[in-house]
Structure 1
Amino acid sequence: MNKISILRNIDRYFGNLIITFLSIFNKIYKKEEKNPKNILIIRLWTLGESLLTLPMIKRLKKEGYNISVLVTKRSKGVFENVDFVDEIVDLEDFISVIKKFKKYDVVIDTEPYLNISAILGWFLGKKVIGFKGLFRDKLYDFKIEYNDKIHAVYNFCNMLKPFGINYKPEKLIPLKYTEKDEENVNKLLKEYNLDNKKLIGIHCGTAETAPWRSWKKEKFAKLIEKLVEDGFYIILTGSKGDYEVNEKVLNLVDKKFKDKVFNFAGKTNLREFAYLLTKFEVFISNDTGPMHFSAAMGTKTIGLFGPNLPERFAPFGKGNIAIYKARNLECSPCINVHKGEFKECKLNGKCMDLIEVDDVYNVVLNMVKK
Structure 2
Amino acid sequence: MKILIVGPSWVGDMVMSQTLYIELKKTHPNASIDVLAPAWCKPILERMPQIAKAIEMPLGHGDFAFFTRRNIGKSLLLENYEHAFILTNSAKSALIPFFAKVKHRTGWKGEFRYGLINDMRTNRKSFDLMIERYVALAYPKEKMTGSGCLANLPKPKLNIDRQKQLSAFEKFSLHSKRPVIGLCPGAEFGPAKRWPAEHFANITQTLINNGYQIWLFGSAKDHEVTESIKESLPLELQNNCHNLAGETSLIEAIDLMAACNIVVSNDSGLMHIAAAVGCKVVALYGSTSPGYTPPLSDTVEILHTDIDCRPCFKRICPLEHLNCLKELTPDMVVNAINRLNQIKVIQC
Smaller-chain TM-score range? Answer: 0.7 to 0.9
> Relative to structure 2, which stretch is displaced further, 141-150 or 242-251?
141-150
Partners of 2:40 and 2:49 lie apart in 1 by: 20
Query: 1:80, CA displacement in angstroms?
Result: 2.4
User: Structure 2: any 5+ residue segments left out of the alignment?
Assistant: 60-67, 344-348
Change (3 A) 1:74 1:145: farther
> Which residue in the other structure is 1:142 paired with?
120
1:136 counterpart SS class: coil
Change (3 A) 1:114 1:39: same
Query: 1:148, CA displacement in angstroms?
Result: 7.9
**Which of 285, 301, 308 is the equivalent residue of 1:329?**
308
Q: Say whether the 8 Å CA contact 1:215–1:304 is kept in structure 2.
A: yes
TM-score normalised by the chain length of structure 1? 0.77
Q: Say whether the 8 Å CA contact 1:213–1:349 is kept in structure 2.
A: no
> Which residue in the other structure is 1:154 paired with?
132
> Which residue in the other structure is 2:332 paired with?
359
1:311 counterpart SS class: coil
Partners of 1:40 and 1:345 lie apart in 2 by: 40
Partners of 2:47 and 2:299 lie apart in 1 by: 26
**Which of 25, 34, 40 is the equivalent residue of 1:68?**
34
Q: Say whether the 8 Å CA contact 2:203–2:330 is kept in structure 1.
A: yes
Q: Find out whether 1:174 has 2:157 as its counterpart.
A: yes
> Which residue in the other structure is 2:6 paired with?
42
TM-score normalised by the chain length of structure 2? 0.82
**Which of 98, 110, 115 is the equivalent residue of 2:74?**
98
Letter in 1 for 2:37: V
Partners of 2:75 and 2:127 lie apart in 1 by: 39
1:187 counterpart SS class: helix
Letter in 1 for 2:103: K
User: Structure 1: any 5+ residue segments left out of the alignment?
Assistant: 1-36, 336-341
> Which residue in the other structure is 2:92 paired with?
116
**Which of 188, 191, 203 is the equivalent residue of 1:211?**
191
Q: Find out whether 1:59 has 2:42 as its counterpart.
A: no
Query: 1:60, CA displacement in angstroms?
Result: 0.7
Change (3 A) 1:290 1:153: same
Percent of pairs identical after alignment?
A: 20
1:71 counterpart SS class: strand
Partners of 2:83 and 2:94 lie apart in 1 by: 13
Q: How does 1:338-349 map to 2 (within 5 A)?
A: 345-349=318-322
Q: Find out whether 1:230 has 2:196 as its counterpart.
A: no
Query: 1:334, CA displacement in angstroms?
Result: 1.7
For the aligned residues, what is the CA RMSD?
A: 2.8
Q: Say whether the 8 Å CA contact 1:172–1:316 is kept in structure 2.
A: yes
Change (3 A) 1:148 1:307: farther
Q: Say whether the 8 Å CA contact 1:148–1:312 is kept in structure 2.
A: no
